[in-house]
Amino acid sequence: MNTRRFDPPADPARRRLLKTAGGATLLALPGAAALAQQREGVPVGPRSTFESLVPAAEIEAEAARGYHEMLAQARAQHRLAQPENVQLRRLVMISQRLRPFAAMWNERAIGWQWEVNLINSPQINAFCMPGGKIAFYWGILAKLQLSDDEVAMVMGHEMTHALREHGRAQIGKQVATQGTIALLAGLFGWSNASRQVAGVGGRLLSLKYSRDDETEADLIGLELAARAGYMPQAAISLWRKMEAASRGAPPAFLSDHPSNPDRLRTIAANIPRVQGLYARAPKPDVRFGPPLAG
Protein backbone atom coordinates (compact mmCIF):
# COMPACT_ATOMS: atom_id res chain seq x y z
CA MET A 1 0.00 0.00 0.00
CA ASN A 2 1.30 3.42 -0.92
CA THR A 3 1.76 5.55 2.22
CA ARG A 4 2.80 8.81 0.58
CA ARG A 5 1.43 11.92 2.24
CA PHE A 6 -1.77 13.17 0.61
CA ASP A 7 -2.10 16.64 -0.89
CA PRO A 8 -4.99 18.77 0.47
CA PRO A 9 -8.42 17.86 -0.93
CA ALA A 10 -9.68 19.74 -3.98
CA ASP A 11 -12.58 21.29 -2.08
CA PRO A 12 -11.09 23.63 0.57
CA ALA A 13 -14.43 23.79 2.39
CA ARG A 14 -13.80 20.20 3.44
CA ARG A 15 -10.50 21.06 5.09
CA ARG A 16 -10.71 23.72 7.82
CA LEU A 17 -7.11 23.40 8.93
CA LEU A 18 -3.90 23.86 6.98
CA LYS A 19 -0.53 22.40 7.90
CA THR A 20 2.68 24.41 7.81
CA ALA A 21 5.87 22.87 6.52
CA GLY A 22 7.01 22.36 10.10
CA GLY A 23 3.84 20.53 11.07
CA ALA A 24 2.18 23.36 13.04
CA THR A 25 -1.54 23.78 12.55
CA LEU A 26 -3.02 27.07 11.36
CA LEU A 27 -6.68 28.01 11.39
CA ALA A 28 -8.05 28.80 7.95
CA LEU A 29 -7.59 32.56 7.55
CA PRO A 30 -8.60 34.94 4.74
CA GLY A 31 -6.79 33.76 1.66
CA ALA A 32 -6.28 30.24 3.04
CA ALA A 33 -8.96 28.83 0.75
CA ALA A 34 -7.12 30.21 -2.26
CA LEU A 35 -3.91 28.66 -0.94
CA ALA A 36 -5.62 25.29 -0.55
CA GLN A 37 -6.85 25.56 -4.13
CA GLN A 38 -3.25 25.67 -5.33
CA ARG A 39 -2.93 21.91 -5.29
CA GLU A 40 -1.35 19.62 -7.81
CA GLY A 41 -4.04 17.75 -9.64
CA VAL A 42 -7.33 18.29 -11.42
CA PRO A 43 -9.67 21.23 -10.70
CA VAL A 44 -13.00 20.09 -9.28
CA GLY A 45 -15.89 22.09 -7.84
CA PRO A 46 -17.96 21.46 -4.70
CA ARG A 47 -20.18 18.44 -4.29
CA SER A 48 -23.91 18.57 -4.94
CA THR A 49 -26.07 20.02 -2.17
CA PHE A 50 -28.77 17.43 -2.99
CA GLU A 51 -26.76 14.69 -1.30
CA SER A 52 -27.49 16.28 2.09
CA LEU A 53 -31.15 15.20 1.72
CA VAL A 54 -30.18 11.53 2.00
CA PRO A 55 -28.18 9.91 4.84
CA ALA A 56 -24.92 8.47 3.51
CA ALA A 57 -24.97 5.48 5.87
CA GLU A 58 -28.42 4.41 4.65
CA ILE A 59 -27.46 4.71 1.00
CA GLU A 60 -24.28 2.70 1.58
CA ALA A 61 -26.19 -0.01 3.45
CA GLU A 62 -28.74 -0.33 0.67
CA ALA A 63 -26.00 -0.35 -1.95
CA ALA A 64 -24.29 -3.21 -0.11
CA ARG A 65 -27.57 -5.13 0.04
CA GLY A 66 -28.18 -4.68 -3.69
CA TYR A 67 -24.57 -5.59 -4.49
CA HIS A 68 -24.66 -8.81 -2.51
CA GLU A 69 -27.98 -9.81 -4.04
CA MET A 70 -26.40 -9.34 -7.47
CA LEU A 71 -23.39 -11.45 -6.43
CA ALA A 72 -25.66 -14.19 -5.10
CA GLN A 73 -27.47 -14.34 -8.43
CA ALA A 74 -24.18 -14.45 -10.36
CA ARG A 75 -22.89 -17.18 -8.04
CA ALA A 76 -26.03 -19.25 -8.56
CA GLN A 77 -25.51 -18.96 -12.32
CA HIS A 78 -21.82 -19.94 -11.96
CA ARG A 79 -20.75 -16.56 -13.35
CA LEU A 80 -18.86 -15.19 -10.35
CA ALA A 81 -15.06 -15.37 -10.66
CA GLN A 82 -13.25 -17.30 -7.94
CA PRO A 83 -10.41 -15.71 -5.92
CA GLU A 84 -7.74 -17.57 -7.90
CA ASN A 85 -8.96 -16.11 -11.21
CA VAL A 86 -6.06 -14.17 -12.72
CA GLN A 87 -8.23 -11.32 -13.99
CA LEU A 88 -9.92 -10.95 -10.62
CA ARG A 89 -6.52 -10.86 -8.93
CA ARG A 90 -5.59 -8.16 -11.44
CA LEU A 91 -8.62 -6.06 -10.52
CA VAL A 92 -7.99 -6.48 -6.79
CA MET A 93 -4.35 -5.42 -7.15
CA ILE A 94 -5.26 -2.31 -9.15
CA SER A 95 -7.97 -1.36 -6.65
CA GLN A 96 -5.51 -1.73 -3.78
CA ARG A 97 -3.20 0.77 -5.47
CA LEU A 98 -6.00 3.33 -5.98
CA ARG A 99 -7.76 3.01 -2.64
CA PRO A 100 -5.12 4.77 -0.47
CA PHE A 101 -6.01 8.01 -2.26
CA ALA A 102 -9.79 7.66 -1.87
CA ALA A 103 -10.01 9.55 1.42
CA MET A 104 -8.69 12.67 -0.32
CA TRP A 105 -12.09 12.88 -1.97
CA ASN A 106 -14.36 11.42 0.71
CA GLU A 107 -13.41 10.93 4.35
CA ARG A 108 -16.05 8.21 4.74
CA ALA A 109 -14.01 6.01 2.40
CA ILE A 110 -11.60 5.31 5.25
CA GLY A 111 -14.26 3.12 6.86
CA TRP A 112 -15.68 1.52 3.72
CA GLN A 113 -15.57 -2.24 3.35
CA TRP A 114 -14.22 -2.29 -0.18
CA GLU A 115 -15.09 -5.27 -2.39
CA VAL A 116 -14.03 -6.16 -5.92
CA ASN A 117 -15.70 -8.85 -8.03
CA LEU A 118 -15.57 -10.05 -11.62
CA ILE A 119 -18.70 -11.35 -13.36
CA ASN A 120 -18.48 -13.67 -16.34
CA SER A 121 -20.71 -11.74 -18.73
CA PRO A 122 -20.04 -10.39 -22.24
CA GLN A 123 -21.30 -6.95 -21.23
CA ILE A 124 -18.89 -4.06 -21.60
CA ASN A 125 -19.55 -2.66 -18.18
CA ALA A 126 -18.17 -1.87 -14.72
CA PHE A 127 -19.38 0.05 -11.67
CA CYS A 128 -18.62 1.07 -8.11
CA MET A 129 -21.61 1.43 -5.80
CA PRO A 130 -21.69 3.66 -2.70
CA GLY A 131 -19.52 2.25 0.05
CA GLY A 132 -16.86 0.92 -2.35
CA LYS A 133 -18.64 -2.07 -3.93
CA ILE A 134 -16.84 -2.62 -7.27
CA ALA A 135 -17.75 -5.01 -10.09
CA PHE A 136 -16.27 -5.53 -13.54
CA TYR A 137 -17.79 -7.62 -16.32
CA TRP A 138 -15.59 -9.94 -18.34
CA GLY A 139 -16.65 -8.23 -21.57
CA ILE A 140 -15.05 -4.88 -20.75
CA LEU A 141 -11.69 -6.56 -20.16
CA ALA A 142 -11.81 -9.00 -23.06
CA LYS A 143 -13.65 -7.13 -25.80
CA LEU A 144 -11.73 -3.89 -25.28
CA GLN A 145 -8.46 -5.69 -24.50
CA LEU A 146 -7.74 -3.26 -21.68
CA SER A 147 -4.21 -2.72 -20.43
CA ASP A 148 -3.63 -2.33 -16.68
CA ASP A 149 -3.40 1.44 -17.16
CA GLU A 150 -6.77 1.47 -18.93
CA VAL A 151 -8.33 -0.73 -16.25
CA ALA A 152 -7.06 1.77 -13.66
CA MET A 153 -8.80 4.59 -15.56
CA VAL A 154 -12.11 2.69 -15.60
CA MET A 155 -11.75 1.84 -11.92
CA GLY A 156 -10.78 5.38 -10.93
CA HIS A 157 -13.76 6.72 -12.90
CA GLU A 158 -16.17 4.32 -11.18
CA MET A 159 -14.69 4.89 -7.74
CA THR A 160 -15.21 8.62 -8.24
CA HIS A 161 -18.95 8.15 -8.70
CA ALA A 162 -18.98 6.57 -5.23
CA LEU A 163 -16.48 8.95 -3.63
CA ARG A 164 -18.27 12.07 -4.84
CA GLU A 165 -21.61 10.45 -3.95
CA HIS A 166 -23.22 10.99 -7.31
CA GLY A 167 -25.81 8.29 -6.65
CA ARG A 168 -26.73 9.79 -3.29
CA ALA A 169 -27.10 13.22 -4.93
CA GLN A 170 -29.30 11.77 -7.68
CA ILE A 171 -31.67 10.23 -5.15
CA GLY A 172 -31.61 13.47 -3.15
CA LYS A 173 -32.58 15.36 -6.29
CA GLN A 174 -35.51 12.97 -6.83
CA VAL A 175 -36.66 13.62 -3.26
CA ALA A 176 -36.37 17.39 -3.74
CA THR A 177 -38.20 17.48 -7.08
CA GLN A 178 -41.05 15.37 -5.73
CA GLY A 179 -41.42 17.98 -3.02
CA THR A 180 -41.76 15.68 -0.04
CA ILE A 181 -39.46 14.17 2.54
CA ALA A 182 -42.14 11.54 3.20
CA LEU A 183 -40.86 9.61 0.17
CA LEU A 184 -37.45 9.35 1.78
CA ALA A 185 -38.95 8.31 5.10
CA GLY A 186 -40.86 5.59 3.29
CA LEU A 187 -37.82 4.40 1.39
CA PHE A 188 -35.77 3.98 4.54
CA GLY A 189 -38.49 2.99 6.97
CA TRP A 190 -38.05 6.01 9.22
CA SER A 191 -40.44 6.77 12.10
CA ASN A 192 -43.74 4.98 11.57
CA ALA A 193 -43.39 4.69 7.83
CA SER A 194 -44.21 1.18 6.68
CA ARG A 195 -42.68 1.17 3.22
CA GLN A 196 -39.67 -1.09 2.75
CA VAL A 197 -36.32 -0.17 1.28
CA ALA A 198 -36.34 -3.07 -1.17
CA GLY A 199 -35.26 -1.92 -4.61
CA VAL A 200 -33.08 1.02 -3.55
CA GLY A 201 -29.91 -1.00 -4.17
CA GLY A 202 -31.20 -1.92 -7.61
CA ARG A 203 -31.94 1.72 -8.37
CA LEU A 204 -28.36 2.60 -7.49
CA LEU A 205 -27.20 0.07 -10.08
CA SER A 206 -29.21 1.70 -12.86
CA LEU A 207 -28.77 5.43 -12.22
CA LYS A 208 -27.94 7.65 -15.18
CA TYR A 209 -25.27 10.19 -14.39
CA SER A 210 -25.27 13.79 -15.58
CA ARG A 211 -22.64 15.20 -17.91
CA ASP A 212 -21.14 17.12 -14.98
CA ASP A 213 -20.92 13.89 -12.97
CA GLU A 214 -19.24 12.18 -15.91
CA THR A 215 -16.67 14.96 -16.34
CA GLU A 216 -15.90 14.88 -12.63
CA ALA A 217 -15.48 11.10 -12.72
CA ASP A 218 -13.15 11.37 -15.72
CA LEU A 219 -10.93 13.96 -14.06
CA ILE A 220 -10.77 12.59 -10.52
CA GLY A 221 -10.40 9.08 -11.90
CA LEU A 222 -7.48 10.33 -13.97
CA GLU A 223 -5.83 11.76 -10.86
CA LEU A 224 -6.46 8.65 -8.73
CA ALA A 225 -4.88 6.44 -11.38
CA ALA A 226 -1.90 8.77 -11.86
CA ARG A 227 -1.21 8.90 -8.12
CA ALA A 228 -1.32 5.08 -8.10
CA GLY A 229 1.34 4.88 -10.81
CA TYR A 230 -0.79 4.32 -13.91
CA MET A 231 -0.07 6.22 -17.11
CA PRO A 232 -2.44 9.18 -17.60
CA GLN A 233 -2.44 8.87 -21.41
CA ALA A 234 -4.32 5.58 -20.98
CA ALA A 235 -7.49 7.61 -20.39
CA ILE A 236 -7.34 8.71 -24.03
CA SER A 237 -6.81 5.21 -25.41
CA LEU A 238 -9.59 3.89 -23.15
CA TRP A 239 -12.22 6.28 -24.46
CA ARG A 240 -11.11 5.77 -28.03
CA LYS A 241 -11.75 2.07 -27.51
CA MET A 242 -15.16 2.91 -26.01
CA GLU A 243 -16.03 5.05 -29.01
CA ALA A 244 -14.96 2.27 -31.41
CA ALA A 245 -17.11 -0.24 -29.50
CA SER A 246 -20.12 2.08 -29.72
CA ARG A 247 -20.18 2.06 -33.52
CA GLY A 248 -22.11 -1.19 -33.42
CA ALA A 249 -24.56 -1.79 -30.59
CA PRO A 250 -23.58 0.70 -27.86
CA PRO A 251 -22.05 -1.12 -24.87
CA ALA A 252 -23.88 -1.11 -21.54
CA PHE A 253 -21.16 1.09 -20.08
CA LEU A 254 -21.99 3.91 -22.50
CA SER A 255 -25.69 3.79 -21.68
CA ASP A 256 -24.78 4.84 -18.13
CA HIS A 257 -21.69 6.86 -19.10
CA PRO A 258 -22.55 8.64 -22.34
CA SER A 259 -19.72 9.85 -24.50
CA ASN A 260 -19.66 13.38 -25.86
CA PRO A 261 -17.43 15.31 -28.28
CA ASP A 262 -15.72 17.27 -25.51
CA ARG A 263 -14.72 14.27 -23.40
CA LEU A 264 -11.38 13.48 -25.02
CA ARG A 265 -10.48 17.17 -25.25
CA THR A 266 -11.20 17.71 -21.55
CA ILE A 267 -9.19 14.65 -20.54
CA ALA A 268 -6.26 15.62 -22.78
CA ALA A 269 -6.26 19.16 -21.36
CA ASN A 270 -5.96 17.79 -17.81
CA ILE A 271 -3.26 15.18 -18.38
CA PRO A 272 -0.49 17.78 -17.79
CA ARG A 273 -2.04 18.51 -14.38
CA VAL A 274 -1.40 14.95 -13.21
CA GLN A 275 1.77 14.15 -15.15
CA GLY A 276 4.01 15.13 -12.23
CA LEU A 277 1.99 12.99 -9.83
CA TYR A 278 2.44 10.02 -12.16
CA ALA A 279 6.15 10.68 -12.64
CA ARG A 280 6.78 10.60 -8.88
CA ALA A 281 4.44 7.71 -8.08
CA PRO A 282 5.84 4.21 -7.43
CA LYS A 283 4.94 2.04 -10.40
CA PRO A 284 3.33 -1.42 -10.15
CA ASP A 285 5.80 -4.25 -9.65
CA VAL A 286 3.46 -6.72 -11.37
CA ARG A 287 1.74 -6.25 -14.71
CA PHE A 288 -1.09 -8.31 -16.18
CA GLY A 289 -2.28 -8.68 -19.74
CA PRO A 290 -5.89 -8.65 -20.90
CA PRO A 291 -7.78 -11.94 -21.24
CA LEU A 292 -8.29 -13.57 -24.59
CA ALA A 293 -10.74 -11.55 -26.68
CA GLY A 294 -14.28 -12.82 -26.63
Is there a catalytic annotation at residue 158?
yes
Q: Are 133 and 63 in contact (CB under 8 A)?
A: yes
Q: What is the DSSP string of 38-97?
A: --SS----PPPGGGGGS-HHHHHHHHHHHHHHHHHHHHHTT-BPPTT-HHHHHHHHHHHH
Give the Cα separation of 155 and 139 in Å (integer): 15
Q: Active site residue: 51, 58, 60, 158, which one?
A: 158
Number of other residues whose CB lies within 10 A of the CB of residue 85: 16
Nearest alpha-carbon partner for 118 in 79, 166, 174, 146: 79
Q: Which residues pair with 50 in a beta bridge?
A: none
Q: Which residues pair with 128 in a beta bridge?
A: 134
CA quadruple 252, 243, 63, 84: dihedral sign: positive
Give, in order, the Cα–Cα distances in Å from 98 to each of 109, 117, 180, 229: 12, 16, 38, 9
Point out the residues that are catalytic: 158
